[in-house]
Amino acid sequence: MTSAAIAIILKKERDVVEHFQQARALSPESAKTLGELNVDDGFAVRRLRELAVVRENSNGALYLDQLSWTALRENRRKRTLILIAIVLMASAAALSLTFFNAK
């Protein structure tokens, strides 16, 4: 997946989460239908449901699990930082090999 595609998916997920937060659909008792939230059942909603960020109550209405959303964001942030660290270490190793091999 390209970085542009990833950015679009993450933006759509944030937009969905914003709809739930603005509608205060944050618990099984305050759950709303997608129609009430004015949200399409698109890729972002399906993905958030698979990740247990968006959950369904006994009536079939949906709500945002804030703790799951926070945990998902933290996990993504950590993975991104780890990836950046790996790229930086690999770059430093490549530069040092180039420098030492040049002598």
pTM: 0.78
Give the three-class secondary structure for 62.
Answer: strand
Which residues, 6 or more positions from 32, have their beta carbon under 8 angstroms from its beta carbon?
20, 23, 25, 61, 62, 63
pLDDT at 1: 63
Instruction: State pLDDT tens for residues 23-39.
Output: 999 999 999 999 999 99
Instruction: State pLDDT tens for residues 37-83.
Output: 999 999 999 999 999 999 999 999 999 999 999 999 999 999 989 99
pLDDT at 13: 95
- Degrees (nearest 5) of the Cα angle 8, 11, 82? 85
